[in-house]
Structure 1
Amino acid sequence: MPLRTLLATLTAGLAAATTTLAAAGPVHADSPQRHACSSSVSIEGYSDALDKTTHADTFVGNLSGLAVDRDGSLLAVSDRSALFTLDRRTLAPKGVLPLATETGAALDSEALAVDRDGTRLITSETEPTVRRYDRRGRILGSLPVPDALKVAPAGRAVANQTFEGLTLLPGGRTLLASMEGTLAGDSAGVVRLQTWQRHGGAGDFRLSAQYGYRVDTGLGVVEVAGLPGGRLLVLERGFTAGVGNTVRLYAADTRRATDTGDVAVLTGQDGDRAGGTGQDHGVRLVRKTLLADLVNCPSLGATAKQPQPNPLLDNIEGMTVTGAARSGGRLEVLLVSDDNQNPVQTTRFYSLRIRTA
């Protein structure tokens, strides 16, 4: 689906993320001139309305991924094998579906995307996998995954550091999953972004290009959102005990990056800057540009249950584009934090307005 069509659909279905949060319960927002997190990002509001709540005897939390459904409603995946449908205006849960593997086992469901036919594409960190589910939560199959990206001993990935992010790029032909952490043998701080390509319009996804992406020291990639022309929004996050979370939002561009699918070891040398050495000689990493460090956002009166450099921050993991601003060429983006069902963490939704160009 072209981005302009996607955004028109989302805008009609969701209105603006600010409106969604305003109707969701306790929302706090400052005057417009105090919304800026940076020259590219502003925060319009936040909501803790779903924190430590239940729906249909299911805990509403552990939320790790967001997506917009075909009808404009919000989908939120929990890493405890559950998929919630949320009301487009109030964020109130309208339904929940249990998720399972082919054998009926629970899965560490971390990210999701909605295909053009409404199929849900959901990652699991355990193997890792990208599985396809129908609207009733029935499994339809899974996508191939390169051996190197599988958790050791099957591959070189570290447990709980695999497919944390997933996005379907505008046009619906390219799916991209982001590894949260580095493969064994690769340079520290360089993670892999794996894509699948659909050929013939309605065909199955097949393995396609892979890219190297450098995260900031101590951070990992927790979510991605597709933009036109191979560009991405990338959410990086880390946590330091006694200090709190670091959450940074980047614009990234895969268009000049090297396909690293056949590169055994990434040394971290960027071919554009350093010429590259060793087995990845000449590799060009994905280019990224900092949009905002969310520690610089106004706190909007938020409180934190544990030490944070900004009380607004928490364990942010999910992100989706919900619409386009009426002016200024900005996107409306919704974030959510994963409370890990932990009393000192919060399920919090954040409404951002982002300029990427």
Structure 2
Amino acid sequence: MRTRHVPRALAVGISCVLATSGLAAPVVAASPHANGDQVRFLGETTVAAGQLFQGTELGGFSGIDRDRRTGEWVLISDDRSDRQPARFYTARIDVDAAGVHDVRFTGTHPFRRPDGAPYPPASAGDGTTVDPEDIRVDPWTGQYWWSQEGNRPHGAPTPTDAVIQPSIQRADRTGAYAGSLPLPENYRITTEPRGPRRNLSLEAITFAAGGALVTSAVESPLLQDGPLPSPGSGELSRITVQDRTGHVVAQYAYPQEPLFAAPNPPGSFADSGISEILAHPTDPARYLVLERGFSTGHGYDVKLFEMSTRGATDVQHVDSLARTDVVPVRKRLLADFDRFPLPRMDNFEGMAWGPRLPTGERTLLVVSDDNFWPGENNRFVALAVR
């Protein structure tokens, strides 16, 4: 999701609370440098906004992954071809027990349509604009799988505000189109009040079970599944597990947190949702989930959860979560980013596993999307996770 350009303020601290009953108890931070016994803050660095690399503007980093073959990292920019064609970057990033150090970009390529052309901006009016959000390195082939949110028009479709379906595509390492993953029917944008909301669609993807499964998360509830989270109520979004052919193995209800603060002034912009999902390295039922919220007058709020699909209801054939009792996935709080020693809270949207530490912990690299907006940051945060 690209946050609207509205006035920003520093995020305020809020208490760590799981609002959904019946879930595992949260792990509460004991100090500013350690959130519970599973997550430690290692360090952070930023890439200055507005920098140019190979003729492109660096920024909008909404997804990141590490290529185990080369040790390099790949990052996706959520530029909708407004500045330069929709694209990804490769980089060398040093992550160790002392934190995250140099971020050295090594290449960039535009994503290409099946006809070989780069994706155009919406102003082209041909209905093929994409809204890139997440990227993963295929552990089997080394190709890049990437998600994009598509577009739900504000009203009646126009040439520059057309219906564009969300998608998960494959690209080779030069960005050339290599195929796509069929998505479940309830991920489709329709002319009826059903399917994903505008700019709250396919935000996150991850490989699970060693690459045999592709798991995706819808950022916020589908239109038929109920309202958006509010300060008094969390809501249910959907997480889908598919095999590599697109067959839906299962779909689960995910209990989102309530909006962390009412916007100020009342009625101004606020939203929240799943900004990233990451499979556990060995357990196909466990994931890390990053929830990110924004509220005018308060700024950003970011929390890291661990979730398990064991015992949850398969809702792939449930038409509306708003009218049905289902057992959602279980989750517990691992880290409240407000408790980390960060200069300010940012729009964290991407995360990926890094190298293992001598302690046996696994590093986790989290990156923020600056929205190409002055005052926001391309921040890289390194954590240690047991």
Whether TM-score is above 0.5 comes out as yes
Asked whether the 8 Å contact 2:33–2:339 carries over to 1, the reply is no
Deviations for 1:237-289, whole angstroms, at most 9, x for unmatched residues? 0011121100000000012211111000113xxxxxxxxxx5x34x2211100
Partner of 1:224: 277
SS in 1 for 2:378: coil
Q: Structure 1 runs of 4+ off > 3 angstroms?
A: 100-104
SS in 2 for 1:164: strand
- Return the alpha-carbon distance in structure 1 between the equivalents of residues 167 and 249 of structure 2: 15
Partner of 1:19: none
Partner of 2:189: 151
- Return the alpha-carbon distance in structure 1 between the equivalents of residues 92 and 208 of structure 2: 24
85, 102, 115: which is aligned to 2:90? 85
| Identity percentage of aligned residues | 32
Asked whether the 8 Å contact 1:62–1:340 carries over to 2, the reply is yes
- Return the alpha-carbon distance in structure 1 between the equivalents of residues 357 and 379 of structure 2: 22
106, 117, 120: which is aligned to 1:94? 106
- Unmatched runs of 5 consecutive residues or more in structure 1: 1-32, 199-203, 268-277, 303-310
- Return the alpha-carbon distance in structure 1 between the equivalents of residues 321 and 134 of structure 2: 25
The count of corresponding residues between Structure 1 and Structure 2 is 294
- Return the alpha-carbon distance in structure 1 between the equivalents of residues 313 and 243 of structure 2: 16
Partner of 2:372: 341
Partner of 2:243: 197
Write the letter of the residue equivalent to 1:84. Y
Partner of 2:351: 319
**More displaced, 182-191 or 152-161?**
152-161
- Return the alpha-carbon distance in structure 2 between the equivalents of residues 102 and 206 of structure 1: 22
Partner of 2:299: 244
Partner of 1:288: 331
SS in 1 for 2:225: coil
- Return the alpha-carbon distance in structure 2 between the equivalents of residues 342 and 37 of structure 1: 30
- Return the alpha-carbon distance in structure 2 between the equivalents of residues 162 and 61 of structure 1: 21
Q: State the Cα distance separating 1:344 from its structure 2 match.
A: 1.6
Q: State the Cα distance separating 1:50 from its structure 2 match.
A: 4.3
- Return the alpha-carbon distance in structure 1 between the equivalents of residues 87 and 134 of structure 2: 11
Asked whether the 8 Å contact 2:166–2:202 carries over to 1, the reply is yes
Q: State the Cα distance separating 1:205 from its structure 2 match.
A: 4.3
SS in 1 for 2:321: coil
Write the letter of the residue equivalent to 2:88. L
Q: State the Cα distance separating 1:152 from its structure 2 match.
A: 3.2
Asked whether the 8 Å contact 1:150–1:156 carries over to 2, the reply is yes
Partner of 1:122: 146
Q: State the Cα distance separating 1:66 from its structure 2 match.
A: 0.4
- Return the alpha-carbon distance in structure 2 between the equivalents of residues 92 and 68 of structure 1: 14
SS in 1 for 2:338: helix
Asked whether the 8 Å contact 1:152–1:159 carries over to 2, the reply is no
Q: State the Cα distance separating 1:91 from its structure 2 match.
A: 1.6
Asked whether the 8 Å contact 1:75–1:86 carries over to 2, the reply is yes
Partner of 1:107: 130
Q: State the Cα distance separating 1:221 from its structure 2 match.
A: 0.2
299, 317, 330: which is aligned to 1:262? 317
Partner of 2:222: 183
1:330 equivalent in alignment to 2:361: yes
61, 64, 78: which is aligned to 2:62? 64
- Unmatched runs of 5 consecutive residues or more in structure 2: 1-30, 80-85, 95-101, 120-128, 151-164, 228-234, 260-271
Partner of 2:27: none
Structure number having the greater helix percentage: 1
Asked whether the 8 Å contact 2:183–2:246 carries over to 1, the reply is no
Asked whether the 8 Å contact 1:108–1:124 carries over to 2, the reply is yes
Partner of 2:176: 138
Asked whether the 8 Å contact 1:50–1:92 carries over to 2, the reply is no
Asked whether the 8 Å contact 2:48–2:377 carries over to 1, the reply is no
Asked whether the 8 Å contact 1:152–1:158 carries over to 2, the reply is no
1:76 equivalent in alignment to 2:75: yes
Partner of 1:271: none
- Return the alpha-carbon distance in structure 2 between the equivalents of residues 142 and 352 of structure 1: 32
296, 299, 308: which is aligned to 1:253? 308
SS in 1 for 2:141: coil
Deviations for 1:146-169, whole angstroms, at most 9, x for unmatched residues? 221122327521121111111001
Q: State the TM-score, normalized to the length of structure 2.
A: 0.73
Write the letter of the residue equivalent to 1:210. Q
**More displaced, 216-225 or 151-160?**
151-160
Write the letter of the residue equivalent to 1:297. F
- Return the alpha-carbon distance in structure 1 between the equivalents of residues 246 and 211 of structure 2: 10
- Return the alpha-carbon distance in structure 1 between the equivalents of residues 106 and 77 of structure 2: 15
- Return the alpha-carbon distance in structure 2 between the equivalents of residues 179 and 351 of structure 1: 25
Q: CA RMSD in A?
A: 1.7
Q: State the Cα distance separating 1:291 from its structure 2 match.
A: 0.5
Deviations for 1:30-60, whole angstroms, at most 9, x for unmatched residues? xxx8622333322111111343311001011
**More displaced, 54-63 or 205-214?**
205-214
Asked whether the 8 Å contact 2:49–2:372 carries over to 1, the reply is no
Q: State the Cα distance separating 1:177 from its structure 2 match.
A: 0.7
Deviations for 1:269-324, whole angstroms, at most 9, x for unmatched residues? xxxxxxxxx5x34x22111000011101123xx2xxxxxxxx2x101101001122
- Return the alpha-carbon distance in structure 1 between the equivalents of residues 170 and 328 of structure 2: 29
SS in 2 for 1:341: coil
Write the letter of the residue equivalent to 1:244. G
Asked whether the 8 Å contact 1:143–1:206 carries over to 2, the reply is no
Q: State the TM-score, normalized to the length of structure 1.
A: 0.78
